[in-house]
Structure 1
Amino acid sequence: MYRKVNYKLNFFLLIYAMIFSFFSCVSSNESLPDSEVTTNPSNEITVTTEDTKNLDGKKLTVVNSEQPIESNQQTISPLEKYKNKTKNILISPLSSPSEIMKGKTFDSLFTFGLTDSNNMPLENLSVTISYPSFSANGIVSFATEELMTDSRGTVSFKAPLIEFACDDFVSCYITPELMDDEVANYIQKTATKIPFKVHTDKIWNVFSVSILDYTEAGTPITSNSLTSSAILQEMYTKHLSVGNSDWVSEIDSDDNILLYKHAKSLFGNTIGYLIHGKLTYLEGVTTNENGNKTVKLNVSYGVMDMKTGEDVLTDSFDVTGEDSSEWKLFDSIRHNIIAPKIVNAIYYGL
């Protein structure tokens, strides 16, 4: 037959006996004054005396040693650890491949060098290479590869065959122990970068440009399109085949089905893509405190695939400018902001 033992009760009785002995010693063989014994869920036993003459109202607390002891030591965040780890390390770009066409491979390596604060090479250091791996609708996705520096403190990365157009960067940074949002944002700002440029393989296609300019009153300008002309000139710098076309009513009504029907009827299969859109006012021309002219405009456009009638690229953006005259203002906006932005999106996006 087994006997059931209440171990918890025995533990408290043992502690109480120890406390009783303690007070007996303190009181020089006098009897233990009136006292109160309490316990709490954290396994503490507290004895409080009421006889201030003998024990001065002493309070004794015994804590179960099995309970964890809280530490006042502050933890260091992953970001602070990463900053401490990398603060004396310099990463430099050493070699950059030339721009290539979509569907090709880079003819050389992306190479970075790592040195310490004394300009000495850092060997066997883990770094991460982040590089574009895919692009769709103008959004670039990235892949990573972890490498170790060699005896010269360098790492070299060979990019795979690139099947998409892209204008971005290959980044190199010290591999973090933990990658949280703060560390990722810090790396995004501080990583060493080398340009990663892959232009479209549509350079043999013929493009047509039809951007409809509007007056400040919101009326379409039918006599000419200075914005189309600026885009055409910019496309020439990329060695693209391009010409102007006018589709006033179709673009003004935002009727892409009718636009495709009429353009297909006119061009047949002679062009590959139609760049169409609008330049409208958001704020009229004003004169600022410096006596210069200012304006705020919006550009919206699409690049239509003439095989399907679908837009394969679309965007809308606002532009502002300031110049000494209204003519210079609009000429600068068209040639220095609008045309480069649209043409680069096409050249590195199709």
Structure 2
Amino acid sequence: MTTSQQEHGQRSPEQAREALHRVRAEVAKAVVGQDAAVSGMIVALLARGHILLEGVPGVAKTLLVRTLATALDVDTKRVQFTPDLMPGDVTGSLVYDSRSSDFEFRPGPVFTNLLLADEINRTPPKTQSSLLEAMEERQVTVDGSPRPLPDPFLVAATQNPVEYEGTYPLPEAQLDRFLLKVVLPVPPREDELEVLRRHAGGFTPRDLAAAGVRPVAGPADLAAGSAALRSVQVAPEVAAYIVDIARATRQSPSLQLGVSPRGATALLGTSRAWAWLNGRGFVTPDDVKALAHGTLAHRLSLRPEAELEGVSVTSVLDSALNAVPVPR
């Protein structure tokens, strides 16, 4: 790294990759057995996308986001989405200041680096959509004035897959804005025993410092990593492989909605990030297959008759992947 880079807090791609690998170890000090979710959030941050976390209550979704923010040394805020939440409660609003006899803008919790949108499907579509501009444009518009959000900016939204009473399912257009969807499973027996051992030893989720979690990377590492993705090569046959997978989903008789071109572009971006994290300057078909389910599954919509027959999105996507020849 040059003297100029050091003075400006810049990182080389190699230093950034090493720092981001250390983040996984730091998060593991507080969160047991959710390595796939940690990797997914790092990929989303590198590819400048957002992530949807799905899991039953109690599988450490909130703890995961808080711990990752600590390890990355970035600001984080949490919004509990409820039926009475208003758009201004997320984006911020104009408030009258009697001292200046004028309106001033009070930023909402969206003005952060890592926003945890907890149970996003419990709030009405009007409030859900207030996040769309923030997610897509990295800004919010209040009273006609655009206000840029901090960089980096990631929305990590959670939804409960079992309690649908009183919820507002995310529309396809909003689901398509999430780069990745990661399912956080109930941990296997050994991991659950480790959770209990830690709690018996005095661990408390509210005190990450006592667990030894410390910042090991920062925004400069994410910026260096994001810049390095542009140099990750994608061979024409690998690009064609991604397109053919997307087109195969559109031809499936079980789906009423296949992968859009935006979805194919998303898979290209996540595959590049995964290749770079694994120390390669080119994307392989294995990278594409490794990220296909996380990047594409939430963009697919089953036909009602296929749902009645017990067909799953996972099986349809597996069929599409198996139907497309892998380039050599």
Query: Shorter-chain TM-score: what band?
Result: under 0.3
Which structure's CA Rg is the greater one?
1
The answer to which structure has the higher strand fraction is 1
TM value normalised by structure 2? 0.23
The answer to which structure has the higher helix fraction is 2
TM value normalised by structure 1? 0.22
